[in-house]
Structure 1
């Protein structure tokens, strides 16, 4: 009876339960692709809004979306929304939330905030401090002084605070942190590509496994790993140990375990050398192999130490690549010649192929010497790059 009463009370309280609506954050340049991905994963009534895409889903579908999305950086369950023209309003109204519905005084938590166009609350960090104080003070009142600790690096629970003008929305982060952190990158080289950016490149290439995919400058193997996960339908959060939706008051543990098992059982094997990579640096090849070992089928990805200038003829393949660039490696004076040489190699030795090259520094596109079929802006780590398709 107490459980029934609690659930009835909770369902009257939180936005996500009344509306079955959630919010997925995507970089602006991939929001349309992100919306298409959500629909393919079972989301309903999607709508591009602000920083991402709003969508409807039942809880079982929601678990699958968080587990499988490759393009979203965060998925949020909105809890409450209220007016907060002042910092005192933010504190007082946040303190009224029953935080014990989401965690105990022995859990840890963190807050990430985004604030815009509020006359008094002008800084995201200040807003997160006010929300943190409200959470801790509410716990102190209810527990006789015991409060949960803040852990900004690896908390049990992540909360999101979004303030636009005088309207605040408090949400629970269902992925328990940024979803771009897949968990396979144990070793790395200089300036690795963000996983969600690599996933977007594989998606935009249209690669479906009917041709070989090759990365001639694989770095730490992010593009290869994302290609493997796409082909084999490995959930993007396959290696993730904890999810924020487990802290929802209506979380269904048995349903989640069944859903997780269903998608893990559906992973399909990768044919040997369908995905292939190489790099001139031994440490890069070692990092790639180490990272791939954590994924099912990673041992079927062929990775070699090879200078791009010694690459033989490649036919009927899809080439994806994130070449080095001066701003990240300190070799800017040599970059125009490098890109010119790389373009000549592709023209001479990769006829009949499609190449999708990510230019972290777009000015080098003009040095490539090959006319692109199309290009698209993609940001990686806050830097604006450009993905260009070449038909060779």
Structure 2
């Protein structure tokens, strides 16, 4: 009979001869909102990724361990980073199940200590239902543990420890582990909110597209729950986007290196810098919105250096030589109580009359109101996210 030590040695040798796909080629896949793909690819390169290649549904890239950890900790634009485990031709659900069952899932997690969930996307394939495909993968994982340990791991849809991703396209299946864990837009600073809050990755993209560098003040005259203000603060002060995250999916990879992760985190945290008072500020006509903004900012480093006040933008003093960023309320956030065409005309008048020498970046969740601003745009960028097909529009007030 083989000793326990010998069995572990054999398994280690087996792993080394049959590495998972991401271990063989250091290639990963990033999910990103439509309209942010080009900016996401640029950010990946800035964070040290190589062979960055945008595809129809995301971005492929290569990274060593430290770079993968850094990307997950610092990215402001990406939604998730996936580590492919295996890929194979998959013409029916039995092949899907059988191949998935062969993966040694206990290298990733324990049946009695960790929860898991499966997400799936299927297109142009014999298997046509993504929910059924996800169920078959889930069954394969559960049956693996049932046979090995006599116990099935628990499934947690809302907050799993391990998130597996299944992608089937043209009858080719890829099973990946989500190295991010929870979606990366969930920063952790949002303590309070108002209706229809802006997604954090979209707000971060707007700050990035504004090219704001901190040399002039930044102001949001309709700040809502303060997402743009929070993302501007995090960018200026070099606060990692994942600073509040207690766990990442990459910590469950069989080759996870805790020492490298500790070093990456320490280096990133060491670059955090103070925000001068008066550099970032905002306002909103809603008392609830002002309260939410302040609550969200208070959780961040130097959030108390961001000023937020209750004010109607039409009654604000001049904001000359500023960068203005804003996501005007509309539809659900307006409550249907105001003439929206006139509301957006008032925004245009405010920019024209009170923001001389400033540059404004206005995000239109509903782009039909762009024409009501009455100003010539320098450019328009499509940003699709959170079910919206919006436009970010740049206005320069000379």
Per the shorter chain, which TM-score range? over 0.9
8 Å CA contact 1:24–1:74 kept in 2: the answer is yes
Measure the CA separation in 1 of the matches of 2:338 and 2:322.
31
Distance 1:28 1:8, change over 3 A: farther
| Corresponding residue for residue 217 of structure 2 | 212
Equivalent of 1:193, from 191, 194, 198? 198
Q: What is the CA–CA distance in structure 2 between the aligned matches of 1:351 and 1:376, rounded to whole Å? A: 23
1:190 deviates by 0.8
- Matches of residues 56-67 of structure 1 in structure 2 within 5 Å? 56-67=62-73
Whether the aligned pair in 1 keeps the contact of 2:117 and 2:162 (CA below 8 Å) is yes
2:301 maps to 1:296: yes
Instruction: Name the counterpart of 1:13.
Output: 19
1:46 is the counterpart of 2:15:
no
Matched residues in 2 for 1:4 and 1:253: separation?
22
| 1:7 positional shift | 4.4
Paired residue for 2:365, among 353, 360, 366? 360
Rate the CA distance shift 1:113–1:304 in 2: closer, same or farther, 3 A.
Answer: same
1:84 aligns with 2:83: no
Question: Separation in 1 of the partners of 2:189 and 2:338?
Answer: 34
Change (3 A) 1:123 1:377: same
**Residues paired across the two proteins, number:** 390
Deviation digits for residues 67-110 of structure 1 (CA, Å, limit 9, x no counterpart):
00110000011101111100111111111111111110021001
- Counterpart of 2:157? 152
Quick check: 1:228 aligned with 2:249? Answer: no
Give the Cα separation in 1 of the matches to 2:101 and 2:42: 37
Verify the 8 A CA contact 1:327 1:361 in the aligned structure 2: no
Structure 1 length-normalised TM:
0.97
Match of 2:348 in 1: 343
1:383 aligns with: 388
TM-score (norm 2): 0.95
Per mean C-alpha deviation after superposition, the further-off stretch among 204-213 and 250-259 is: 250-259
Q: Runs ≥4 in structure 1, deviation > 2 angstroms?
A: 1-13, 326-330
Farther-moved stretch of structure 1 (48-57 vs 348-357): 48-57
Separation of aligned partners in 2, 1:6 and 1:315:
67
Distance 2:86 2:315 in 1: 59
Of 110, 117, 125, the match for 2:124: 117
SS of match in other structure, 1:136: helix
Residues 118, 164 of structure 1: 8 Å contact kept: yes
Cα distance per residue 1:271-324 (max 9 Å; x no partner): 112011111111111111111111111111111111111111111110000001
